[in-house]
Structure 1
Amino acid sequence: MKFDLLTFGRASIDLYSKNIGAEFNDIKLLSTAIGGSPVNISVGAQRLGLKTSIVTGVGNDPIGSFIINALQQEKVDVSHVNTIEGTTSTAVVCGIVPPDKFPLVFYRDKAPDNYLSIDMVNTIDFTHYRSFLMTGTALSVEPTRSAAIYATEKARAQGATIFLDIDFRANLWHDVRAFGVTLRQYLPLCDIIMGTEEELLAMGLTESDQVKIKDNAISSPTIEGDINAVIKQVLSSGVKLLLVKTGAKGVSAYYPDGRIENIPGFPVEVVNVLGAGDAFASGFIYGYLQNWDTYQSCRLANACGAWIVTRQGCSNYAPTYEEIIQFIKDKGGF
């Protein structure tokens, strides 16, 4: 079977607070969903109409079964979801206190996606995939880092478009400065890069104290640095396009020839920002693979992100193509 997109990286069960506005200590009820950027992007793109598959790991435990079953229910291919003995499937607990407090607690002791191997990559026939998405977190530890780079090389050799979602999670790196060191080495393998301004700044860190995390909001740190210098460095690596997400304002598309295209977003009332970037990636990849231009692809991406921030979860609330097109029409069109 031919697939439009293969994603690579972490998978988890996400436990979301159902008590919107409650501080973490006051959470009474939690809802369950599957998560992790590669999972959210695979599900989001599948719901839009692409055929997707994922390379990840789960433990030999009920949570691993939950993740696999949920992916199958979403019709995401699980041929390369590896059950890794001696590991424990990942869980994430998410608080929701709009408009700007979204604490995350990760449970990743012996996380299965940290044990993806080159041997596992060798079981993949990369001729079956039109595009390949890597996330920054997958590059944080060995042996997964080497497996991730090897998979990217193999996908690229078969002509797949290589997407990178920067996906900076400070708590998943032994030293936050290693994030930029590692990703800068990876950039020459990539075609299209996606990230927030903060994630771009994380790629240029020279001091650990440049990163500030408030209220355990790991997905939205405050980072000091020179954004223009980092953008210039990324564009000089050989990538075709850099997409810098700017929240409700939309996204700025940077091209190697110096062009900049600003694509507006869709202002909405925020309930939960978690997963918005993954929804953006799903939308952009869909448009790109349909040969839409950058503006239209980014408008769809912005709409998918806006849709998700009005919901309480991530992939479980991802829109279908019909739903998101109606959303765009209701808000003035492309």
Structure 2
Amino acid sequence: MVVHDVLTVGRSGVDVYPLQVNTPLNEVKTFQKFLGGSPMNVAVAAARLGEDVAILTGVGDDPFGKYVRDEMRRLGVSDEFVITDSNLNTPVTFCELVAEAPFFFYREPSAPDLQIKVSDLPEETVKNCKVFWFSGTGLCEDPSYTTHVEALKMRGRKSYTIFDMDWRPMFWADPEEAKKRYAQCLELTDVAVGNRAECEIAVGEKEPDRAADALLERGVKIAIVKQGSEGALAKTADERAVVPVLPATVINGSGSGDAFGGSLIHGLLQGWGLEKIIQGCNAAGGIVASRLECSTAMPTEAEIWKAINAGTCDVLNQEA
């Protein structure tokens, strides 16, 4: 078995986006499908930046499941650890291309990615990959939750074990249970990243500096708090970096956090300093927000630094 440098775990499926901007779904006339799911998009973003990436996830035994496998391979992500579940359909997600767009998830009664079992874990890759990335959504239901915990115990908090504190309240019956599970996984994590609301679920703090400090107190080595239009804060035990966003004309902001994550993985593996890492993350997020799609919009490193040097993400789209 090949031990990949990066392993993400969790949600995958098909994203369906309207081809009309600022139009309610009930009025949209044409749609296009894309590869989706946050951990999948993070994997694609890291692969686009040249990293060796695989994902542990599940799909249905259906045409959309075949599409997920075909498209992820096309975009550079190994499907070696993708499980096919014949009892459930591949999830589909719709969203509107409007400000603060809601998501409409079709994942009932459950999703294949929430059915991954401990026996599905690729133990050598889990233990020895350079980056293990997981998200909060994967903790919402068993057997996925138990599988995540076992994987984290296998790693023993080895760097880099990254917790994307992705908070989707529609997936949780009880927010208090989410807080307990987030706290448990933080004890097995060395990098934590999330927005203010996600930090509040994880550590009870949403003010950025207090939230980062609370994450560090849990033993995390790098705490990153995303602040939307105000940029991002990153802290370690002896370093603090606040990096503003890079201006962008937003078309679809739903994939910006995943681009941020893929760039974070790349920056860590390249050994960049903290401020440079977050500069790259913010630029990657802005670039994807300025494009219609998510997975196929992930930038190259050259595009990231071109945008940074120009002072705007729009420079890339002006050339298109």
| Structure 1 length-normalised TM | 0.88
Deviation at 1:3, TM superposition (A): 2.4
* Conservation of the 8 A alpha-carbon contact between 1:44 and 1:279: yes
Partner of 2:304: 324
Change in Cα spacing, 1:190 to 1:204, as seen in structure 2 (3 Å) is closer
One-letter code of the match for 2:216? L
Of 172-181 and 189-198, more deviation after overlay is shown by 172-181
One-letter code of the match for 1:298? I
Partner of 2:240: 260
Give the Cα separation in 2 of the matches to 1:168 and 1:332.
Answer: 29
**3-state DSSP class of the match of 2:26?**
helix
* Conservation of the 8 A alpha-carbon contact between 2:8 and 2:54: yes
* Conservation of the 8 A alpha-carbon contact between 2:197 and 2:206: no
Give the Cα separation in 2 of the matches to 1:317 and 1:93.
Answer: 17
1:241 lines up with 2:218 in the alignment:
no
**3-state DSSP class of the match of 1:275?**
helix
One-letter code of the match for 1:141? E
Match for residue 282 of structure 1 among 262, 271, 275:
262
| Equivalent runs, 1:42-81 vs 2, <5 Å | 42-81=43-82
Deviation at 1:16, TM superposition (A): 0.7
Change in Cα spacing, 1:260 to 1:225, as seen in structure 2 (3 Å) is closer
Which deviations, in whole Å up to 9, do the C-alpha atoms of 1:301-323 show, x marking residues without a partner?
A: 01000001111121111112222
Partner of 1:298: 278
One-letter code of the match for 1:48? L
Give the Cα separation in 2 of the matches to 1:53 and 1:311.
Answer: 25
Change in Cα spacing, 1:43 to 1:332, as seen in structure 2 (3 Å) is closer
* Conservation of the 8 A alpha-carbon contact between 1:92 and 1:106: yes
Which deviations, in whole Å up to 9, do the C-alpha atoms of 1:91-135 show, x marking residues without a partner?
A: 1011111xx231210000131011100010156543551110010
Give the Cα separation in 1 of the matches to 2:9 and 2:199.
Answer: 20
* Conservation of the 8 A alpha-carbon contact between 2:3 and 2:125: no
**3-state DSSP class of the match of 2:5?**
strand
**3-state DSSP class of the match of 2:113?**
helix
Structure 2 unaligned blocks of 5 or more: 314-320
Partner of 1:37: 38
Partner of 2:95: 94
| Equivalent runs, 1:127-142 vs 2, <5 Å | 128-142=128-142
Give the Cα separation in 1 of the matches to 2:226 and 2:246.
Answer: 13
Partner of 2:290: 310
Change in Cα spacing, 1:225 to 1:177, as seen in structure 2 (3 Å) is farther
Deviation at 1:150, TM superposition (A): 1.1
Which deviations, in whole Å up to 9, do the C-alpha atoms of 1:276-310 show, x marking residues without a partner?
A: 11110111110111000111011000100000111
| Structure 2 length-normalised TM | 0.91
Partner of 1:154: 154
Deviation at 1:160, TM superposition (A): 4.5
- Between the two proteins, the alignment pairs up a number of residues equal to 311
1:272 lines up with 2:242 in the alignment:
no
1:200 lines up with 2:210 in the alignment:
no
* Conservation of the 8 A alpha-carbon contact between 2:254 and 2:294: yes
Deviation at 1:70, TM superposition (A): 0.5
Partner of 1:14: 15
Change in Cα spacing, 1:268 to 1:108, as seen in structure 2 (3 Å) is same
One-letter code of the match for 1:65? K
Partner of 2:172: 173
1:251 lines up with 2:232 in the alignment:
yes
Deviation at 1:225, TM superposition (A): 6.1
What RMSD over aligned residues (CA atoms) do the two structures have, in Å? 2.0
Partner of 1:210: none
* Conservation of the 8 A alpha-carbon contact between 1:236 and 1:256: no
Change in Cα spacing, 1:317 to 1:225, as seen in structure 2 (3 Å) is closer
Give the Cα separation in 2 of the matches to 1:127 and 1:167.
Answer: 23
Deviation at 1:332, TM superposition (A): 7.9
Partner of 2:318: none
One-letter code of the match for 1:275? G
Which deviations, in whole Å up to 9, do the C-alpha atoms of 1:162-221 show, x marking residues without a partner?
A: 01111110101111232222101110111111111121123356xxxxxxxxxxxxxxxx
Deviation at 1:24, TM superposition (A): 2.4
